[in-house]
Structure 1
Amino acid sequence: MPSRHNILEELATKLAEVRQSDLFRQRRAATLPCSPLYDYAGQSFLSFASNDYLGLANSTALIEAAQRGAKRWGVGSGASHLVSGHTLAHDALEQRLAAFTGFEACLSFSTGYLANLAVPPALLGRGDAIFADRLNHASLVDATQLARADLTRYPHLDLVRLDNALQASKAVRKMIISDAVFSMDGDIAPLADLIKLADKHDAWLLIDDAHGFGVLGPQGRGSLAEITERSPRLILMGTLGKAAGVAGAFVAGSATVIDWLLQKARPYIFTTASPPLLAETLLCALDLIEHGDALRAQLNRNIELLRNSLHLRRFRLLPSRTAIQPIVVGDNAVALKASTRLRELGLYVPAIRPPTVPTGSARLRISLSAAHTEADTKRLVDALHTIENELA
């Protein structure tokens, strides 16, 4: 049996290998609230690293809503939803989210990761089958493992391969799982076609709209609001810490599905309910999203400006009409150098490396926001042109 010293020595060796591969991750402690101005270690940067797509995280309206919520409810819920932690604020939020997204019912969660972990294991088990896009978020990957179902990972957006795999499956219960907006590529799944496949093969369809909710569709109702297709097999997960500017997540679906999750979803049943003051704040955030066409228009102007102004030769801007604008660099070390050089120019854009993205596709992940000005976006474009020339 290895000694404690040898176990620690093994970890130290593995950490050294991570560092040598330019894959070592570090945290930076920001000293300012979430905004385009990112400050740490006494330095200030124009940030393109936040998922606060509408610029709501530090808005006066949400701060005041949180203060009102804290005054009424305190700062903690005290227990899980099914014991005593569920409040009228949680109830109101779930009803509003269901109506806003066009589903019969909704269940709120503390995080998007927990929400995704909750669904597949509650609906599937051994002998069932999951069909997942290869570029799904890590939380969906982990959820498939917890379900203990047979897993098929189809090539990214390849619906022919998906259809064939579903047709060949002998499982009684099947589930298709896909991001709506893919968090590292910024592209959008063909949701209407996925719904048709779910109906054709009598399969559940779980859609993670973390990066579409609040931004896409009429009034920011999400990626699914851009299409007309619906199905009782459809289950939606959305997060509330990105465009909504607060924290938490939700799962929406038929009343039958939500009732079942309430009985069987372990990450819901065995987690302390989020503070009700956050539910109060999110009700305000939903109002801002619903009436936020001007914010979405500003975000879309920034997206259009970046894509029309950026002319890269060595690096590659991926096709995306969303707030996520990835620039593939390829090599881990070069991606780190590019990110470091951007910081030297006063801009913060994170370098994303494996295993978050496939090997050989390290990238700069640009997140645009309605809080960015035209001048901010132009400054980023100029800096990217400069850095590409320097690293060529």
Structure 2
Amino acid sequence: MTAPVGTSSPDAVWNRLARKAELRSKAGLTRTVRPRAAAIDLAGNDYLGLSRHPAVLTAAAAALAEYGLGAGGSRLVRGTTGLHEQFEADFARHTGTETAVLYSSGYMANLGAVAALAGPVLLDAHAHASLHDAARLAGGRSDTFSHNDLEDLERQLRELRPSIVAIESVYSVLGDAAPLREIHALTSAHGALLLVDEAHGIGTVGPRGAGGVAAAGLAGDPGVVVTATLSKALGAAGGVVAGPATLRRHLHDTGRTFIYDTAPPPAVIAGAGAALAIASESESAQTELARRAALAAEVLGAPTPAAGVLSPPAGDAKAATGWAERCAAAGVAVGCFRPPSTPDHRSRLRVTINTGVDAADFGRALEVIAATRPESEEA
């Protein structure tokens, strides 16, 4: 029987996908899922080593025993516990915002925040993929401005007149910081809300790890909305949107990624709450992170990062994967950024600073990374 006009047979679909996979392989863009092996971890995002902190594990274990494995439903059905509400209150207090709303991931938090705020969106070209996806899915107009370029931002604020400008406080690829005060001055002058993704800022920068917004003196500003993930410096999983109480009410009533998604497990949130408390007790963890970041930049000949992300250029995609594989063979786990994950379309190694790694091991890992660098790389 002939397939109807305008449709494809299943075989045609799979053949097309197989051809695309072959092209990606030739370009060095194949991505492989592997169980993690024993190694010095400079690939994960557990910047402060809190995922294995005894107090974090104890809190998670107690919640696991009390509530069981999963949340049991969405936040509005059976998924909300006192632990969820306590974390929201603690996070809002820590970041100086009025309220906060928990999600199952930072990705879901960004989708929910952008959809809720509605209207034209202007994004930094290097903003996380979840923010760009959120802008597209929201269905309105969206555009990008050149990374951290205040002149381009001001020009596009005049031309596009966006409702939202979306940026990161610390960028996940290059590891540089946004000029938050200057950007906020521009968004305020043009009547736009500023959405700041603090995924790599919470726990690593600002007073007691309160993030880049707090560091810029903008905590609680009604023109700023904060989003974050709990999977980086807090060593857990989940996401959060923080801002005015009006936003919280709107997310509860209309936010599809809040209403229809299963709540994060209570045990994970209990652990995240303990991690938040530890990270906010003093600034010693942030001081050690900064010291190690400066050391890594010196050894690898790279600019000192704003927090815990260092991404030296590696040539093309194949050179980057080869570098990462040589590090792995020597017992050092590092990340590997290749297009389309890199907004500047350059392949890079991704080294994350982990203060939970023994200091001597951290130093040895940097030596391995430097010694295995490709002979030829892009400047």
Give TM-score scaled by structure 2 length. Answer: 0.93
Residue 133 of structure 1: how far off its partner (Å)? 0.3
In 2: Cα distance, 1:77 partner to 1:274 partner: 6
* Cα distance in structure 2, aligned partners of 1:384 and 1:78: 44
Residue matched to 1:378: 363
Contact 2:300–2:312 at 8 Å: present in 1 too? no
CA contact (8 A) 2:230 2:238 kept: yes
What's the % identity of the aligned pairs? 32
SS of the equivalent of 1:350 reads: strand
1:18 maps to 24
Deviations 1:155-186 (A, max 9, x none): 101111111111223x5x61100011110110
Question: How much has 1:122 moved relative to structure 2?
Answer: 1.6
Q: Find the counterpart in structure 2 of residue 207 from structure 1.
A: 196
Q: Spell out the pairing of 1:333-372 with structure 2 (5 A cutoff).
A: 333-358=318-343, 360-372=345-357
The AA in structure 2 aligned to 1:267 is: T
Q: Cα–Cα, structure 1 residues 388 and 2, in superposed 2: closer, same or farther, change >3 Å?
A: same
Are positions 1:6 and 2:17 aligned together?
A: no
For 1:134 and 1:94, locate their aligned partners in 2 and report how far apart those are by CA, in whole Å: 30
In structure 2, do the counterparts of structure 1 residues 297 and 257 end up closer, same or farther at CA, with 3 Å as the change threshold?
same
> Please, which moves more after superposition, 141-150 or 341-350?
341-350
The 1:374/1:70 distance shift into structure 2, 3 A limit, reads closer
| Residue number among 126, 137, 151 corresponding to 1:160 in the alignment | 151
Q: Aligned residues, how many?
A: 370
| 8 Å CA contact retained: 2:297, 2:303 | no
Preserved CA contact (<8 Å) 2:47 2:355: yes
Contact 1:302 1:373 in 2 (8 A): no
In the TM superposition, what whole-angstrom CA distance separates every residue of 1:318-357 from its partner, at most 9, and x where no partner exists? 4523210111112111111211221222212122100001
Q: Say if 1:295 and 1:229 are closer, same or farther in 2 by CA, change over 3 A.
A: closer
Aligned with 1:134 (options 122, 125, 139): 125
Output one character per residue of 1:228-269: Cα deviation in whole Å (capped at 9) or x when no partner: 235312100011111111111111001112111221211001
> Shift of the alpha carbon at 1:63?
1.1
Return 4-13 or 361-370, whichever deviates more: 4-13
CA distance in 1, matches of 2:371, 2:277: 41
Q: Are 1:210 and 1:239, in contact at CA under 8 Å, matched by a contact in 2?
A: yes
**Alpha-carbon deviation of 1:191?**
0.9
1:95 to 73, 89, 97: 89
Seen in structure 2, the aligned counterparts of structure 1 residues 287 and 18 have a Cα distance that, compared at 3 Å, is same
Once the two structures are TM-superposed, the CA of residue 49 in structure 1 deviates from its matched residue by: 0.1
Structure 1 residue 386: deviation in Å?
Answer: 2.2
In structure 1, the residue corresponding to 2:101 is in which secondary structure? strand
Q: Which residue of 2 aligns with 1:295?
A: 285
Q: In structure 2, do the counterparts of structure 1 residues 345 and 279 end up closer, same or farther at CA, with 3 Å as the change threshold?
A: closer
- Aligned runs of 1:94-243 on 2, under 5 Å? 94-124=88-118, 128-169=119-160, 174-229=163-218, 231-243=221-233
Distance in 2 between the 1:2 and 1:279 partners? 45
Q: Distance in 2 between matches of 1:112 and 1:75?
A: 21
Aligned residues of 1:318 and 1:328 also touching (Cα < 8 A): no
Shift in alpha-carbon separation, 1:234–1:84, aligned structure 2, 3 A: same
CA separation in 1, counterparts of 2:83 and 2:328? 42
Larger mean CA deviation between 380-389 and 277-286 belongs to 380-389
Alpha-carbon distance in 2 for matches of 1:144, 1:130: 6
Following superposition, the deviation at residue 215 of structure 1 comes to: 1.0
| In 2: Cα distance, 1:308 partner to 1:318 partner | 8
SS in 1 for 2:306: coil
Deviations 1:277-322 (A, max 9, x none): 22222221121111253322222221122223334xxxxx245232
- What secondary structure does 2:372 align onto? helix
Q: Quick one: which of 46, 51, 56 aligns to 1:62?
A: 56
Unmatched 5+ residue regions in structure 2? 1-6
Counting only pairs closer than 5 Å after superposition, residues 274-293 of structure 1 correspond to structure 2 as 274-293=264-283
